[in-house]
């Protein structure tokens, strides 16, 4: 092919593997060309790149596009489900120079991300370096292998690659240190982005073992494309004495032989393993799964694994995707001491044994088999250690680097996730919503609360308004009946109910004013939907609501009064009662008096500190103004909300008040991230901003609403997702250096309410947002 100027909407082949051009249908957007092996080619980097691209496309949308240049050779020619934009035949030296020319001439390509493995360019290093030097657009290079003891020629090669790159991505801090100290690569060029991992739903091992016919077996496993460097024979040598003690053991060897190895030596390594299995009498305890498993099956095989074995013989293997995937599936890991393992398996996240030492391996396996509690602890520690490596977070890290390197070439836009009710319904029994979860599994022993069920009622009502899904009515009835269960003869509510449906002593030990307020808010919201809610529910809700108003004049807790005001506001939408309006005024006037007492030149707030659910207070004042048109309510609503937002909106990112330390009057907002940011506080802010935007149509409120919601999607100080799109749940909190992975009722319902609020503005214009201190645009057209 002799055509250096190429349309950005065509598929092009560099080398002799000519294919017809296939037009793209996407609009012209600035593109990032990823040069990589790509499926259906069967290799780890091909899978890695596919996962990264999918994560980028799912996480961001609307302002840049991903293009692929697939690496091929004379013996690796493939037919693609979705044709790459380019194909580079690495066996043809002249193809490299042509590739550089085509990249430079293609106006759609604004940046290049190169996935590097030495084997891709073996014998063609000079042409490869010439290509990199010839590309006039920014190049980022991802090193999948970093060798710690290079000879002179290898050191020079790596230095030349780095010199031709604007940035270098490595996957471990060990590799970062090697590049900096041994190869003398400037530290400012290096960015560590760990190998991505998949979020999983954590299905029980017993369920999966039953599905695959392994009931009653204790599963050891390893996976990956087979080659002699895998060291699987070490496990086989360790098995006989272990099976004598544990006859239920089954070792799964998952994966076909690496296609390159098959071409070089056939199935020599697999056949050797099979002969060893027979010689050691292990046929009933070893199963070969000779396939490149589809991702869902692979993740299920890992989730049912009791102990995962990583037995690589290569001490220079910088990183392993198989190792990372196993930990993210909750597998307790036993590994040889490759750099990735030494870095990750710290602080009780796994066991390490020496290369090729079957005796040590057997001792490690025996230790874990005998101690279920230790296996569970290692699994939990590993999951928390690897949480930051989810592909969603890897996509965020790459996007930040694209923006930094591009210097204005790209603006990043979060894609609004689809609404997902799965986890909310999973957390709900026929009695109510369970309070806490272990990861995404409901912890029934923790019982129920009125707080959670009141919020869940609001969320399901919102969802029913939007979708008219008849299944919502089942859950609306459950949550409403729970509220009815909690009301007392005097009209007050109890909050805490154990798993046996008994009220607990905690009700006597705590102030339940906020819980009472939330119940009235939920009942008012339910009543406001009387045109679409079954009549029997509505009639009973009216009765419970009226009964609950009886004791509220004795409630003086600030947020409880605000919840009650919201309940009265929603009730007012369908039924105007003078006595309810008077009660709303009375409660609002109390808040006004609090504001006047505490506020001053630099403190426009109702109390002498900012604590939890702060956005609720100005929202309540706004609701009161919408009912009464008392301008003082409106003015205080706006001034107090502006004050609050000045404390929690920082560089186009929200940082709500930490539950570890309230912000006292006169104290500076801390510069450091103390952690303790709760999803419920972000959700309350989204709700309030939505109400203010609906009322005043001020686009700044809309922009801040989008910014606040993006906290769930990764726009926070850790740049990590708080909402889990795999389960539909929301993590329980953002700490200073980690995310709490449990997905309890409060956080998950709070996210859902915020997400449903976003639906009201999701079809409008985009708004600016910042991911790393520079102005960007947040995309919310999900």
Residue range 453-492, pLDDT digits in tens: 999 999 999 999 999 999 999 999 999 999 999 999 999 9
List beta partners, residue 768: 777
CA dihedral 388, 394, 400, 405 (to 10 degrees): 130
Q: What phi-psi label fits residue 127: left (phi over 0), alpha (psi between -120 and 50 degrees) or beta? A: alpha
Q: What is the pLDDT of residue 323?
A: 86
For residue 445, give the H/E element and its range.
strand 441-449
Q: What is the pLDDT of residue 47?
A: 93
Q: What is the pLDDT of residue 321?
A: 83
User: What is the mean predicted confidence (pLDDT) over 744-750?
Assistant: 98
| DSSP one-letter string for 306-332 | SEEEE----TT----HHHHHHHHTT--
Q: What is the pLDDT of residue 669?
A: 80
Q: What is the pLDDT of residue 762?
A: 63
Contacts for 333 with CB less than 8 Å, ≥ 6 apart:
307, 308, 310, 323, 326, 327, 341, 345, 349, 350, 351, 378, 382
pLDDT tens by residue, 690-720: 999 999 999 999 999 999 999 999 999 999 9
Is the pLDDT at 780 greater than 90? The verdict is: no
User: What is the mean predicted confidence (pLDDT) over 648-667?
Assistant: 91
d(CA 501, CA 479): 14
d(CA 282, CA 739): 43
d(CA 331, CA 516): 43
| pLDDT > 90 fraction of the chain, expressed in percent and rounded | 83
d(CA 725, CA 751): 12
Helix (H, G, I), strand (E, B) or coil at 378: helix
Higher pLDDT, 63 or 600: 600
d(CA 102, CA 124): 19
d(CA 305, CA 332): 9
Name the pLDDT band for 346 (thresholds 50, 70, 90): confident
Q: Copy the structure tokens of residue 523.
A: 């009942």
User: What is the mean predicted confidence (pLDDT) over 720-737?
Assistant: 96
d(CA 103, CA 675): 44
Q: Where are the alpha helices (DSSP H) in 194-246?
A: 205-212, 232-245
Is the pLDDT at 597 greater than 90? The verdict is: yes
List beta partners, residue 595: none
CA dihedral 72, 76, 78, 80 (to 10 degrees): -50
Is the pLDDT at 2 greater than 70? The verdict is: no
Name the pLDDT band for 764 (thresholds 50, 70, 90): low
- Altogether, the residues listed in the chain come to a count of 782
Q: What is the pLDDT of residue 613?
A: 96
Q: What is the mean pLDDT of the chain?
A: 91
Of the listed ranges 386-395, 692-701, 757-766, the one predicted with least confidence: 757-766
Is the pLDDT at 18 greater than 80? The verdict is: no
Nearest to 135 by CA among 161, 168, 170, 155: 161
Helix (H, G, I), strand (E, B) or coil at 304: coil
Is the pLDDT at 178 greater than 70? The verdict is: yes
| First-last CA distance in the chain | 40
Of the listed ranges 11-25, 176-190, 555-569, 730-744, the one predicted with least confidence: 11-25
Is the pLDDT at 230 greater than 60? The verdict is: yes
User: What is the mean predicted confidence (pLDDT) over 32-44?
Assistant: 94
User: Cβ distance 34 to 115 under 8 Å?
Assistant: yes
Query: Taken in order 22, 24, 30, 36, is the CA torsion positive or negative?
Result: negative
Residue 46 CA: distances (Å) to CA of 115, 440, 535, 578: 9, 30, 57, 68
Name the pLDDT band for 558 (thresholds 50, 70, 90): very high
pLDDT tens by residue, 276-309: 999 999 999 999 999 989 999 999 999 999 999 9
User: Cβ distance 63 to 55 under 8 Å?
Assistant: no
User: What is the mean predicted confidence (pLDDT) over 26-39?
Assistant: 87
Indicate the DSSP class of residue 41.
S
Q: What is the pLDDT of residue 667?
A: 86
User: What is the mean predicted confidence (pLDDT) over 148-175?
Assistant: 96
List beta partners, residue 88: 14, 71
Q: What is the pLDDT of residue 645?
A: 98
d(CA 440, CA 744): 8
Name the pLDDT band for 573 (thresholds 50, 70, 90): very high
User: Cβ distance 687 to 753 under 8 Å?
Assistant: yes
Q: Copy the structure tokens of residue 502.
A: 């008994």
pLDDT tens by residue, 53-108: 999 999 997 778 999 999 999 988 999 998 999 999 999 999 999 999 999 999 99
User: What is the mean predicted confidence (pLDDT) over 680-688?
Assistant: 98
User: Cβ distance 557 to 590 under 8 Å?
Assistant: no
Is the pLDDT at 395 greater than 50? The verdict is: yes
Residue with tokens 């990590």: 720
Is the preceding peptide bond at 40 cis, omega within 30 degrees of 0? yes
Nearest to 145 by CA among 116, 182, 179: 116
Is the pLDDT at 411 greater than 80? The verdict is: no
Is the pLDDT at 5 greater than 50? The verdict is: no
Q: Report the Cα 374 to chain-centroid distance in Å.
A: 27
User: Cβ distance 424 to 749 under 8 Å?
Assistant: yes
Angle between helical axes of 470-486 and 513-527 (0-180°, round to 10)? 140
CA dihedral 524, 604, 750, 504 (to 10 degrees): -70
User: Cβ distance 771 to 407 under 8 Å?
Assistant: no
Contacts for 328 with CB less than 8 Å, ≥ 6 apart:
197, 198, 199, 200, 382, 383, 386, 389, 390
Q: What is the pLDDT of residue 21?
A: 42
Nearest to 299 by CA among 287, 312, 308, 311: 308
User: What is the mean predicted confidence (pLDDT) over 748-752?
Assistant: 98
d(CA 535, CA 461): 15
Name the pLDDT band for 651 (thresholds 50, 70, 90): confident
Query: Taken in order 156, 161, 163, 167, is the CA torsion positive or negative?
Result: negative
Nearest to 608 by CA among 648, 669, 663: 663
User: Cβ distance 566 to 691 under 8 Å?
Assistant: no
User: Cβ distance 734 to 756 under 8 Å?
Assistant: no
Is the pLDDT at 782 greater than 50? The verdict is: no
φ, ψ for residue 661, nearest 5 deg = -160, 115
Residue 113: exposure state from Cβ atoms within 10 A (0-12, 13-18, ≥19): buried
Is the pLDDT at 675 greater than 90? The verdict is: no
| DSSP one-letter string for 603-670 | B-SSSSEE-SSTTHHHHHHHHHHHHH--HHHHHHHHHHHHHHHHHHEETTEE-PPPTTS-EETTPPPP
User: What is the mean predicted confidence (pLDDT) over 425-449?
Assistant: 97
Contacts for 213 with CB less than 8 Å, ≥ 6 apart:
none
Is the pLDDT at 654 greater than 90? The verdict is: yes
pTM of the model: 0.90
Count of CB atoms situated within 10 Å of the CB of 699: 12
Q: What is the pLDDT of residue 695?
A: 97
């Amino acid at each position: 092919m002799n055509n250096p100027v190429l349309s950005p909407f065509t598929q092009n082949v560099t080398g002799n593997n000519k294919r017809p051009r296939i037009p793209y249908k996407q609009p012209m957007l600035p593109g990032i060309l990823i040069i990589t092996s790509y499926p259906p080619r069967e290799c780890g980097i091909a899978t890695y790149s596919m996962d990264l691209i999918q994560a980028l496309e799912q996480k961001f949308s609307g302002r840049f596009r991903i293009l692929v240049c697939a690496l091929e050779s004379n013996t690796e020619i493939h037919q693609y489900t979705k044709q790459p934009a380019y194909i580079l035949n690495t066996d043809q030296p002249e193809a490299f120079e042509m590739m550089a020319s085509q990249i430079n001439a293609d106006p759609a390509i604004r940046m290049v991300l190169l996935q590097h493995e030495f084997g891709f360019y073996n014998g063609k290093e000079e042409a490869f370096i010439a290509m990199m030097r010839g590309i006039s657009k920014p190049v980022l290079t991802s090193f999948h292998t970093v060798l710690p003891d290079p000879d002179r020629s290898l050191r020079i090669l790596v230095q030349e690659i780095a010199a031709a790159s604007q940035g270098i991505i490595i996957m471990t801090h060990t590799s970062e240190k090697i590049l900096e100290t041994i190869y003398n690569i400037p530290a400012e060029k290096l960015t560590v982005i760990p190998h991505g991992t998949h979020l999983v739903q954590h299905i029980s091992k017993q369920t999966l073992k039953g599905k695959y016919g392994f009931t009653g077996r204790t599963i050891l496993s390893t996976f990956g494309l087979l080659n002699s460097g895998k060291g699987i024979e070490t496990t086989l040598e360790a098995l006989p004495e272990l099976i004598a003690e544990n006859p239920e053991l089954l070792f799964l060897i998952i994966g076909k032989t690496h296609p390159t190895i098959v071409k070089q030596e056939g199935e020599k390594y697999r056949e050797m393993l099979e002969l060893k299995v027979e010689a050691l009498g292990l046929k009933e305890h070893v199963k070969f799964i000779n396939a490149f498993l589809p991702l869902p099956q692979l993740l299920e095989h890992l989730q049912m694994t009791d102990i995962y074995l990583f037995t690589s013989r290569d001490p220079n293997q910088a990183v392993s995707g198989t190792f990372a995937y196993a930990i993210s599936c909750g597998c307790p890991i036993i590994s040889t001491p490759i750099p990735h393992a030494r870095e990750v398996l710290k602080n009780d996240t796994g066991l390490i044994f020496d290369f090729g030492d079957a005796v040590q391996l057997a001792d490690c396996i025996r230790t874990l088999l005998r101690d279920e509690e230790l296996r569970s602890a290692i699994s939990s520690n590993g999951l928390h250690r690897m949480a930051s490596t989810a592909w969603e977070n890897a996509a965020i890290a790459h996007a930040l680097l694209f923006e930094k390197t591009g210097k204005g070439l790209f603006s990043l836009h979060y894609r609004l996730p689809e609404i997902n009710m799965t986890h909310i319904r999973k957390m709900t029994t026929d009695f109510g919503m369970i309070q806490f979860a272990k990861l995404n599994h409901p912890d029934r022993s923790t019982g129920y609360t009125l707080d959670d069920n009141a919020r869940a009622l609001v969320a399901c009502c919102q969802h029913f308004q939007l979708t008219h899904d008849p299944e919502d009515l089942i859950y609306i009835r459950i949550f409403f009946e729970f509220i009815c269960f909690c009301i007392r003869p005097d009209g007050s509510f109890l909050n805490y109910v154990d798993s046996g449906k008994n009220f607990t002593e905690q009700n006597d030990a705590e102030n339940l004013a906020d819980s009472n307020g939330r119940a009235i808010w939920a009942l008012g919201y339910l009543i406001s939907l009387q045109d679409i809610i079954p009549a029997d529910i509505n009639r009973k809700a009216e009765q419970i609501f009226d009964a609950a108003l009886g004791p509220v004049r004795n409630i003086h807790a600030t947020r409880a009064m605000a919840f009650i005001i919201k309940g009265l506001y929603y009730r007012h939408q369908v039924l105007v009662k003078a006595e309810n309006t008077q009660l709303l005024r009375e409660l609002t006037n109390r808040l006004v008096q609090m504001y006047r007492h505490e506020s001053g030149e630099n403190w426009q707030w109702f109390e002498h500190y900012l604590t939890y659910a702060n956005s609720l207070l100005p929202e309540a004042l706004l609701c009161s103004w919408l009912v009464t048109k008392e301008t003082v309510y409106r003015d205080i609503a706006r001034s107090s909300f502006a004050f609050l937002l000045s404390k929690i909106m920082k560089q186009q990112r929200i940082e709500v008040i930490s539950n570890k330390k309230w912000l006292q009057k006169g104290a500076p907002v801390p510069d450091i991230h103390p952690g303790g940011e709760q999803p419920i506080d972000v959700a309350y802010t989204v709700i309030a901003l939505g109400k203010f935007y609906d009322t005043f149509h001020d686009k700044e409120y809309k922009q801040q609403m989008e910014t606040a919601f993006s906290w769930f999607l990764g726009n926070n100080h850790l740049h990590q997702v708080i909402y889990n799109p795999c389960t539909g749940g929301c993590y329980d909190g953002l700490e200073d250096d980690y995310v709490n992975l449990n997905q309890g009722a409060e956080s998950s319902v709070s996210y859902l309410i915020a997400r449903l609020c976003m639906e009201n503005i999701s079809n409008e214009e985009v708004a600016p947002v910042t991911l790393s201190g520079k102005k960007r645009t947040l995309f919310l057209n999900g």
